[in-house]
Structure 1
Amino acid sequence: MTTPYTDRPLAPVTVDAATEHFWTQAKEGLLCTRRCTSCGKVHWYPRALCPFCMGDTEWCSLSGLGTIYSVSVTRRAGPIPYAIAYVALDEGITMLTNIVDCDFDDLKIGQRVEVTFKPADGGAMVPMFKPA
């Protein structure tokens, strides 16, 4: 059995002053988040204060490479199957994201993945992951 990826519509994203840099970088094909200027830890999702020490943060680039920690393929929630996964990025943070551009039945825990971007309604590019 195979379950190939099919593009599906993505809802528009909300861009505000706090997330504008993130969405601008995503349009250029770059994944970024914030790093604490006090303790040095990166965290996902991007926010102005560090969730570990409440220090100030600054934007930093991510490699966009990671490993599938957990994955689930949903075939009955709508007309188009999709794969959702926790991806552990090489920088040490974990993202809940979609896996795209592959046969879902070939996905495995521990598999290497890389970021790719899919267009949402309104033009924003949404980070997702595909097999590396």
Structure 2
Amino acid sequence: MSTEQPLPVIDHDSAPYWQAAHEGHLDIPLCGDCGKHHFYPRAICPHCHSDNLNFDTVSGRGEVHTFTVARRPAGPAFADDVPYVVALIELEEGPRMMSRIQTDDPEKVHIGAKVEVTFVKASDEITFPYFRMT
């Protein structure tokens, strides 16, 4: 079994998202027709089905909608990370995104906790937007 953590594949639809994360800001799709943000990056708006999409830099602030604490690794590649928090973050701009919460004490994470984005470099190409409580 591999001890290297798997990394996302960057495609045409997600490239601006990953580039922004690499540069230290959170950009998510914004529909030019209905005016709604969405996450994850995709070719059409999930709200109105338009392909008139651009990436918009958002605040990076939100709150924990739900979460779980991973206490057992999801394979050998994650053994050094446990325990870690995986959460569904509701961004101030509306969309929800799955991410990790960086914390020294997973027991302090709770639903409704205010969070802000932080960035963790995983490789030369991939920087993950994680969150931390504020």
TM-score (norm 1): 0.85
Cα distance per residue 1:68-124 (max 9 Å; x no partner): 111111112353211111111100111111111331111111110001111224441
Deviation at 1:131? 0.8
1:63 aligns with 2:59: yes
Distance in 2 between residues matched to 1:96 and 1:123, nearest whole Å: 20
In structure 2, what is the equivalent of residue 3 of structure 1? none
* Residues 113, 131 of structure 1: 8 Å contact kept: yes
Query: Which fold has the larger relative contact order, with Cα–Cα distance below 8 Å and residues 6 or more apart in sequence?
Result: 1
Question: Structure 1 vs Structure 2: percent identity of aligned residues?
Answer: 35
1:90 aligns with 2:85: no
Distance in 2 between residues matched to 1:87 and 1:10, nearest whole Å: 22
In structure 1, what is the equivalent of residue 105 of structure 2? 103
TM-score (norm 2): 0.84
In structure 1, what is the equivalent of residue 11 of structure 2? 16
Deviation at 1:51? 0.8
Deviation at 1:17? 2.5
The count of residues paired between Structure 1 and Structure 2 equals 124
1:131 aligns with 2:133: yes
Distance in 2 between residues matched to 1:48 and 1:57, nearest whole Å: 8
Root-mean-square deviation over aligned CA pairs: 1.6
Change (3 A) 1:10 1:130: farther
Is 85-94 or 10-19 further displaced after alignment? 10-19
